[in-house]
Structure 1
Amino acid sequence: MKIVKFGGSSLADATCFQKVKNIIESDPSRKIVVVSAIGKRKKDDNKITDLLYLCHAHLQYGVSTENILSMIEERYRCIKDDLHLSIDLHHEFEIIRQNMMKENIDYLVSRGEYLCAKMMSEYLGYQFIDAKDVILFDYNGKINIEKTKEAFHKFMPLHTGIVVPGFYGSINHQRIKIMARGGSDITGSILADLFDATVYENWSDVSGILAADPKIVHEPKRIESITYNELRELSYMGANVLHDEAVFPVREKNIPINIRNTFEPDNPGTMILNDCSELDKKHPPHTITGIAGKKDFTSITIYKKGISNESGIALKAFQILEKYKISIENMPCGIDSFSLIVSSSKIADCLYEMLSDIKEILQPDSIRISDSLSLIAVVGRGMVKNTGISGKIFGELGAHQINIQTISQGADELNIIVGVHNDDFEKTIQVIYEKFIRRIS
């Protein structure tokens, strides 16, 4: 059995619905379908979920929501009419209008997925199952897997396919509870875990995960297979194709996640696995799987003689950052120094107070502040078997007059993170890609 999730871009209009139906009907194992709310038809269009959030904002300030709701209703009505569906949208929107004032915000913004799933289930001839009845949260906001499994049990065995709206569930079958934006990815992952799926197919408008940002690198190659650990490293640095939390429910069972393109259904996309060793036997991985990065960090370097022998000094530094609710992105260390690399935007309002605490508590010999720093992660499970890859990367950057400000490498040799000036961000990614990915592809 396959779990298939379709994102908003795959559900933007009636033509997209037809493409989705063709994909599902081409493989009888695609029995469980998760859908997002309908998305943008073009670049300057609106996502339904954004419009629903806007409705809530209007409610908060006592402004009429009728124009926005009518716009949303028209989007669904166009799909209904084009596909000749029988769903009573007038009745559905009357219920929304009646409940939107007395229900919480989660109820309102979840209606995009709810209505899309109702329409898709009719179009496919599948059974509609409201996520409110099966995706169950505890009062602490965490999904209760055991209760969710029990709730789904009454629908087994499946005599037909089912369609489940993504993004939300409920507390005690009553109060709607939404997930973070992109939460439909999580819904699909949970169902893949519960039903022991052979694969979780995540369909959107991209043909898998690319080895670099196409805005920076011209036509970067598609990554054929990637481990969950590699994906986490790239996602943390901005390569966002899949919601981070969608990995955890399927990871332990090594259920593959297959990133596919609704508009190129014959493209195999990218396969994400906990363990790619079997695939690697047939197709050995490239030394570098992918490159990702982010701009605008600040490095706070603390110098103090004998700092490496001073017990607890790192803990004290962490506690200072915790006081200001600042997370550390990276921490390169030397014999008499260490650097705290943090997001520039997060420390903009508290930098001087934080430096004052550092001077008072850590009593450093000196402190150096460097801003306009970019962090670039070079990730690859093949690096551990390639002797001297770090030196080769540094040598290539040096040959292109790129100054490396910070360097760190994980103990598992899965990633190398280099810090460069913001002005060298794009050039650094391009140089690494051209030398270590494009030329050996």
Structure 2
Amino acid sequence: MKVSKFGGTSVASAEQIKKVANIIQNDPKRKIIVVSAPGKRFESDIKVTDLLIRLAEAALNTGEAEEELQVVLARYEEIAIGLGLDNEIVEVIEADLRERLQLNREHHELFLDQLKASGEDNNAKLIAAYLKSIGLNGKYVNPKEAGLWVSDEPGRARILPEAYENLKNLRAVDGVIVFPGFFGYSKEGTIVTFARGGSDITGSILAAATHAELYENFTDVDSVFAANPKIVENPAKIKRMTYREMRELSYAGFSVFHDEALMPAFRHSVPVCIKNTNNPSAPGTMIIAEREYIQNPVIGIAADKGFSTIYVRKYLMNRELGFGRRLLQILEEEEVSYEHMPSGIDDTSVIIRNHQLTEEKEKQIIQKIREQLEVDDVFIEKGFAMVVLVGEGMHNTLGISARATTALTKAGVNIEMINQGSSEVSLGFGIHEEDTDKALRSLYEEFFSMKTIMQ
């Protein structure tokens, strides 16, 4: 049995959903289908999830959101008509949305989660109806009925251990299960969503719980590439990679797969295949526990913008017991997580993502560090990017760091920070955001040009 997840672009229109149906028909092992909300139909289009966020915000801010509601309904109606479905399914979706709009609005985050989750939920109902109409016995299954219990953390839910035992029962369901991604239910019965893009997480959870032989993640590219094809021309395709490599690349900016989604598959030894809905015959990229290492120790290069650095300096910091713990505790009190923490003997830098900071939080953090840690200096700098080399083969290959720093120097990129994990699967460089593209191109040329590989 296979679990197959279809992303937003794969279910964005009636034409795309017909492709999904053909993919399901071509392999009877595809028994559980996880779907996202309709994504972009073209470059300037708006995802349904974003339309639902606008709907929720209008309801919260003005109490009236009829215009925003009609825009959402129009998308589903267009898809239903294109699939030859009658208006009944659109009426079901409209009733659901109107019911959600009547929910308690006192807790803004929970209200927003109820509306956001409707994108996947209603699309699953629509796709199940279409599969049934063409004789595929599609069955919509709600996460609550299936027992997908998650933590009560709006926008960042985590699966509860007992959910795996509940979801195992899906193996016994006849027909093709169509399961909405992105959300589960708290023990109190409230909808709670995973992080944005969390349909990947749902698919991985179901594959792990049902002991699937393969978790297929269908998107709009033939494979995972060694670098961003929007920046690097014709980058190499990655045929096989490990869970750790994919996790590092996803975290560092590869948007093809959610970085949290690998954990359930990894823990239950379910291989993952990234495939293309628009070219399903392409072999895709297999993600497995171990792979052979041939020639190039680096498998991929990722870059991500939007980082800030909290710089802290204090003489004899290295001799002060508990300094690092107390520094991180201040961030925890402000609900800020950190990404990297390179340190010297008298100074340390804490790398965090910009979206966690507000002007008020910045003031609070700096004030607390000054007062509680009695530092010599503390300030926050913005405008940083992280460019990361990833590869299981790097740890036993000499000269990777030297080659990378030389390539960046030749490109005129100033390195602000270097960070290498203890596993040596990744090597990261902190640089200024404006240098991101040329850094990526220079590193790709160094590690992936034919001249380099043939040496």
TM-score by shorter chain over 0.5: yes
Instruction: Give the Å deviation of 1:338.
Output: 3.1
Instruction: Give the Å deviation of 1:148.
Output: 5.5
Q: Which moved more, 1:15-24 or 1:210-219?
A: 210-219
Aligned equivalents of 1:305 and 1:19: distance in 2? 63
Instruction: Give the Å deviation of 1:36.
Output: 1.4
**SS of 1:247 mapped into structure 2:** helix
Aligned equivalents of 1:57 and 1:305: distance in 2? 48
Contact 2:390–2:425 (CA<8 Å) still a contact in 1? Answer: yes
For 1:276, the equivalent position in structure 2 comes to 290
For 2:275, the equivalent position in structure 1 comes to 260
Aligned equivalents of 1:380 and 1:334: distance in 2? 27
Q: 2:39 matched to 1:35?
A: no
Q: 2:261 matched to 1:246?
A: yes
Q: 2:334 matched to 1:327?
A: no
For 1:422, the equivalent position in structure 2 comes to 433
Contact 1:133–1:169 (CA<8 Å) still a contact in 2? Answer: no
For 2:108, the equivalent position in structure 1 comes to none
Contact 2:150–2:192 (CA<8 Å) still a contact in 1? Answer: no
For 2:143, the equivalent position in structure 1 comes to 131
Q: Taking every aligned residue pair, what percent have the same amino acid on both sides? A: 37
Aligned equivalents of 1:211 and 1:22: distance in 2? 29
For 2:124, the equivalent position in structure 1 comes to 117
Contact 1:73–1:89 (CA<8 Å) still a contact in 2? Answer: no
**SS of 1:136 mapped into structure 2:** coil
Instruction: Give the Å deviation of 1:18.
Output: 1.5
Contact 1:374–1:419 (CA<8 Å) still a contact in 2? Answer: yes
For 2:397, the equivalent position in structure 1 comes to 386
Instruction: Give the Å deviation of 1:44.
Output: 2.5
Q: 2:95 matched to 1:95?
A: yes
Aligned equivalents of 1:175 and 1:368: distance in 2? 41
Q: Which moved more, 1:245-254 or 1:208-217?
A: 208-217
Aligned equivalents of 1:297 and 1:139: distance in 2? 28
Instruction: Give the Å deviation of 1:349.
Output: 4.5
Instruction: Give the Å deviation of 1:304.
Output: 4.8
Instruction: Give the Å deviation of 1:287.
Output: 1.3
Contact 1:135–1:143 (CA<8 Å) still a contact in 2? Answer: no
Q: Which moved more, 1:409-418 or 1:1-10?
A: 409-418
For 2:76, the equivalent position in structure 1 comes to 76
Instruction: Give the Å deviation of 1:314.
Output: 2.2
Q: What is the letter of the counterpart of residue 140 of structure 2?
A: F
Aligned counterparts, 1:112-261, within 5 A: 112-124=119-131, 125=136, 126-137=138-149, 140=152, 142-147=158-163, 149-150=165-166, 153=169, 156-171=171-186, 175-261=190-276
- Provide closer, same or farther for how the CA distance between residues 97 and 395 of structure 1 changes in structure 2, counting only shifts above 3 A: closer
Q: 2:286 matched to 1:286?
A: no
Aligned equivalents of 2:253 and 2:56: distance in 1? 29
- Provide closer, same or farther for how the CA distance between residues 116 and 374 of structure 1 changes in structure 2, counting only shifts above 3 A: closer
- Provide closer, same or farther for how the CA distance between residues 76 and 312 of structure 1 changes in structure 2, counting only shifts above 3 A: closer
For 1:314, the equivalent position in structure 2 comes to 324
Instruction: Give the Å deviation of 1:316.
Output: 3.2
- Provide closer, same or farther for how the CA distance between residues 76 and 402 of structure 1 changes in structure 2, counting only shifts above 3 A: closer
For 2:305, the equivalent position in structure 1 comes to 295
**SS of 2:398 mapped into structure 1:** coil
Aligned equivalents of 1:83 and 1:300: distance in 2? 53
- Provide closer, same or farther for how the CA distance between residues 9 and 401 of structure 1 changes in structure 2, counting only shifts above 3 A: closer
Instruction: Give the Å deviation of 1:363.
Output: 4.7
- Provide closer, same or farther for how the CA distance between residues 89 and 431 of structure 1 changes in structure 2, counting only shifts above 3 A: same
Aligned equivalents of 1:207 and 1:9: distance in 2? 14
Q: What is the letter of the counterpart of residue 40 of structure 1?
A: K
**SS of 2:179 mapped into structure 1:** strand
- Provide closer, same or farther for how the CA distance between residues 248 and 151 of structure 1 changes in structure 2, counting only shifts above 3 A: closer
Aligned equivalents of 2:368 and 2:43: distance in 1? 47
Aligned equivalents of 1:421 and 1:139: distance in 2? 37
Instruction: Give the Å deviation of 1:72.
Output: 3.0
Figure out how many residues of one structure are paired with residues of the other and give that number: 435
Segments of 5+ residues of structure 2 without an aligned counterpart are: 105-110
Contact 1:132–1:168 (CA<8 Å) still a contact in 2? Answer: no
- Provide closer, same or farther for how the CA distance between residues 360 and 253 of structure 1 changes in structure 2, counting only shifts above 3 A: same
Q: What is the letter of the counterpart of residue 19 of structure 1?
A: K
Aligned equivalents of 1:31 and 1:63: distance in 2? 42
Contact 2:37–2:119 (CA<8 Å) still a contact in 1? Answer: yes
Aligned equivalents of 2:382 and 2:180: distance in 1? 44
Instruction: Give the Å deviation of 1:374.
Output: 3.0
- Give the greater-gyration-radius structure (CA): 1
- Provide closer, same or farther for how the CA distance between residues 81 and 422 of structure 1 changes in structure 2, counting only shifts above 3 A: closer
Contact 1:256–1:272 (CA<8 Å) still a contact in 2? Answer: yes
Instruction: Give the Å deviation of 1:285.
Output: 6.7
Instruction: Give the Å deviation of 1:348.
Output: 4.9
- Provide closer, same or farther for how the CA distance between residues 334 and 221 of structure 1 changes in structure 2, counting only shifts above 3 A: same
Contact 2:142–2:180 (CA<8 Å) still a contact in 1? Answer: yes
Instruction: Give the Å deviation of 1:6.
Output: 0.7
Aligned alpha-carbon RMSD (Å): 3.0
Aligned equivalents of 2:290 and 2:371: distance in 1? 49
Aligned equivalents of 2:173 and 2:99: distance in 1? 32
- Provide closer, same or farther for how the CA distance between residues 100 and 350 of structure 1 changes in structure 2, counting only shifts above 3 A: closer
Q: Which moved more, 1:88-97 or 1:211-220?
A: 88-97
Instruction: Give the Å deviation of 1:371.
Output: 5.1
Q: What is the letter of the counterpart of residue 228 of structure 1?
A: Y
Instruction: Give the Å deviation of 1:433.
Output: 0.6
Q: Deviations over 1:235-268 (max 9, x none)?
A: 2222222223212211112211211111121222
- Provide closer, same or farther for how the CA distance between residues 428 and 192 of structure 1 changes in structure 2, counting only shifts above 3 A: same
Q: Which moved more, 1:249-258 or 1:121-130?
A: 121-130
Segments of 5+ residues of structure 1 without an aligned counterpart are: none
- Provide closer, same or farther for how the CA distance between residues 60 and 272 of structure 1 changes in structure 2, counting only shifts above 3 A: same
